[in-house]
């Protein structure tokens, strides 16, 4: 009975986390568009524009092309959204530890990161459009390109902590576990992951799969209505997933801990969390600020600073320069850990 109750509560919390993830994804998508517009000397849309876009898409008709594979065409957006929502339950969010801690690790999260890209490629191929087919091919090529530096970063972290558990890795900031050489090594690994971030999210300069000016929308050229809205939400939630993952791996600091020697953030104690109310509020706000900074550095600045790469150059960028940088970071961490 306790087992059923425990998993029932976890199911409800997963649904709650999913709703929060969708809300934050759309909100931060609005921040990204607004910040990008300001950097380009434009006014830009209001922060609530992504919510308006989703509402408008759900009100429109969902059209299925005659030459599409209907069931693949309709289920692809769902499978693009679900992995990112599920992944949020395996990540620490602000002062809250991973809800599913002990049931999955960094390897699982890497698989969950890959599924949305595969789902989008399948959806593009299922649409039967030649534009979407080219977009799907580009998406798969890009995914195979950035998976290598992503795997290198994961292995480096696991080697340092001797575990793939995200809960263990996030319990102690990586910068305090190494010396000067390891610090430089992990700085290179972090730079690699920041370079992977726009590729994971299909943002400029790595949006070759959509490329409106070349492929008229590529993967999504035949999508409309509810299905396009689900892809839109999936992209927004994945941005929160990737940002929260980087925070957990490299910046798991809590504001209440950092300022506790100078300012007490006690207040009423919350029994389930064993922490003060004001401390919880401060840590949640700090997490949201860190998330905004990660998105700004890893997405907004990059897509303003660079134009779209050709697909061969994008693939080369991940296979050669970023792989070398990641391996160099790994080498520095290994050399420090072995004392050579």
With a pLDDT cut of 90, the percent of the chain lying above it is 61
Give tens-digit pLDDT for 15-63.
999 999 999 999 999 999 999 999 988 998 999 999 999 999 999 998 9
| Residue with the larger pLDDT of the pair 215 and 241 | 241
What pLDDT, on the 0 to 100 scale, is given for residue 116? Answer: 93
What pLDDT, in 10s, does the model give residues 293-329? 999 999 999 989 988 888 899 999 999 999 999 999 9
pLDDT at 94: 85
Domain definitions of the chain by residue range: 51-338
SS (H, E, C) 178-200: CCHHHHHHHHHHHHHHHHHHHHH
Percentage of the chain modeled with pLDDT above 70: 92
DSSP, residue by residue, 107-149: HHHHHHHHHHHHHHHHHHHHHT-HHHHHHHHHHHHHHHHHHHH
Q: What is the pLDDT of residue 275?
A: 61
Residues 75-97 have a mean pLDDT of 92
Residue 88: predicted pLDDT: 94
SS (H, E, C) 52-98: HHHHHHHHCCCCCCCCCCHHHHHHHHHHHHHHHHHHHHHCCECCECC
For residue 272, what pLDDT is reported?
Answer: 46
Predicted pLDDT at 273: 52
CA gyration radius, the chain: 21
Contact assessment for residue 227 and residue 62, using Cβ atoms and an 8 Å cutoff: yes
Mean pLDDT across 93-106: 85
The tens digit of pLDDT for each residue in 238-285 reads: 999 999 999 999 999 988 777 765 555 555 445 445 566 777 888 899
Three-state DSSP class for residue 269: strand
pLDDT band at 101 (very low <50, low <70, confident <90, very high): confident
| pTM of the shown model | 0.92
Residue that wins the pLDDT comparison between 8 and 165: 165
Does residue 190 surpass a pLDDT of 90? yes
What rounded mean pLDDT belongs to the chain? 88
């Amino acid at each position: 009975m306790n087992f059923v109750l425990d998993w029932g509560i976890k199911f409800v919390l997963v649904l709650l986390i999913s709703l929060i993830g969708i809300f934050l994804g759309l909100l931060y998508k609005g921040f990204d568009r607004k910040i990008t517009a300001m950097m380009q000397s434009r006014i830009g849309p209001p922060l609530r524009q992504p919510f308006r876009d989703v509402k408008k898409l759900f009100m429109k008709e969902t059209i299925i092309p005659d030459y599409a594979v209907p069931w693949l065409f309709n289920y692809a957006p769902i499978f693009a959204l679900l992995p990112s929502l599920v992944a949020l339950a395996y990540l620490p969010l602000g002062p809250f530890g991973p809800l599913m801690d002990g049931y999955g690790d960094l390897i699982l999260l890497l698989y969950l990161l890959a599924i949305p890209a595969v789902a989008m490629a399948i959806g593009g191929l299922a649409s039967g459009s030649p534009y979407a087919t080219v977009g799907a091919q580009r998406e798969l090529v890009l995914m195979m390109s950035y998976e290598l530096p992503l795997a290198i970063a994961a292995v480096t972290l696991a080697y340092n902590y001797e575990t793939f558990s995200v809960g263990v890795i996030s319990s102690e900031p990586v910068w305090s576990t190494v010396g000067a050489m390891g610090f430089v090594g992990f700085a290179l690994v972090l730079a690699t992951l920041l370079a992977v971030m726009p590729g994971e999210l299909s943002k400029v300069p790595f949006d070759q799969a959509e490329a409106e000016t070349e492929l008229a929308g590529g993967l999504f050229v035949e999508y409309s209505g509810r299905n396009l809205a689900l892809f839109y939400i999936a992209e927004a939630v994945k941005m929160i997933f990737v940002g929260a993952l980087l925070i957990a791996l490299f910046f798991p600091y809590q504001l209440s801990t950092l300022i506790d020697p100078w300012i007490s953030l006690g207040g009423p104690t919350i029994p389930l969390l064993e922490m003060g109310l004001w401390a919880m509020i401060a840590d949640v706000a700090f997490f949201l600020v860190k998330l905004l900074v990660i998105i700004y550095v890893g997405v907004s600045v990059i897509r303003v600073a660079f134009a779209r790469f050709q697909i061969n150059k994008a693939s080369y960028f991940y296979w050669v320069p970023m792989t070398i940088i990641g391996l160099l970071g790994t080498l520095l961490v290994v050399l420090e850990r072995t004392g050579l």
